[in-house]
A and B are shown apart, each in its own frame.
Chain A
């Protein structure tokens, strides 16, 4: 597609439920990133993929968070047993090269609300 797409755009869930967030990167972009954006907190790095492997998972806040990427394309971020503090906008980005050296293209985000 023309840009990075994410689904759903909004997700409201109850505390304790699991959620899956999806990201479709720009075709041909081998690097894919997940961030979390909370009000006044900037962008918090979660995880990075190069192809299907995740060399850097250092930002995942707890073992309730996991992510996978298949076929070097679509990625899914899963949050198990959601908590209210998980409420945030989850952003996906992709780039041709490494983020530290290349422009990242961001998706519109998924706004997660945990009641």
Chain B
């Protein structure tokens, strides 16, 4: 079965610091990759996704992620975080084979101090 590993459970940064959240998956086939975000008191929502093409994808609010196939990774980055980026971030993987579900990582809680 596929699995998704997020390296850090909690990250604390000051505003304007750079962010990189790690995500690795275990599946040898073609995958679709997602980052979802859950802001305090809000629903989970899609941040960005990769299906094919340019491995560097850009999402909302200045976030981007890079798919590195050889490393089975899809790390999330932002050059300069804001207090409003405080949230929990989930990486998810779907197999590109008509399979119906996503496998989610355990999440990384990001706290940005003003």
Contact = CB atoms under 8 A, between A and B. Distances in A.
Interface in B8-64: 9, 32, 34, 36, 43-46, 49, 51
B105 A42 contact: yes
Interface stretch (A12-20, A65-73, A80-88, A100-108): A100-108
A90 interface: no
Nearest to A47: B101
Interface of B: 9, 32, 34, 36, 43-46, 49, 51, 90, 92, 94-107
Contacts of B94: 98-101
A6 to B, nearest CB: 10
A35 B38 CA distance: 15
A47 to B, nearest CB: 9
A55 interface: yes
Contacts of B44: 91, 93, 106
Nearest to A44: B104
Given A103-B46, A103-B49, A31 B107 contact: no
17 contacts: A3-B43, A43-B92, A45-B103, A45-B104, A48-B100, A50-B100, A56-B101, A59-B101, A98-B98, A99-B94, A100-B97, A100-B100, A101-B32, A101-B94, A104-B46, A106-B45, A108-B43
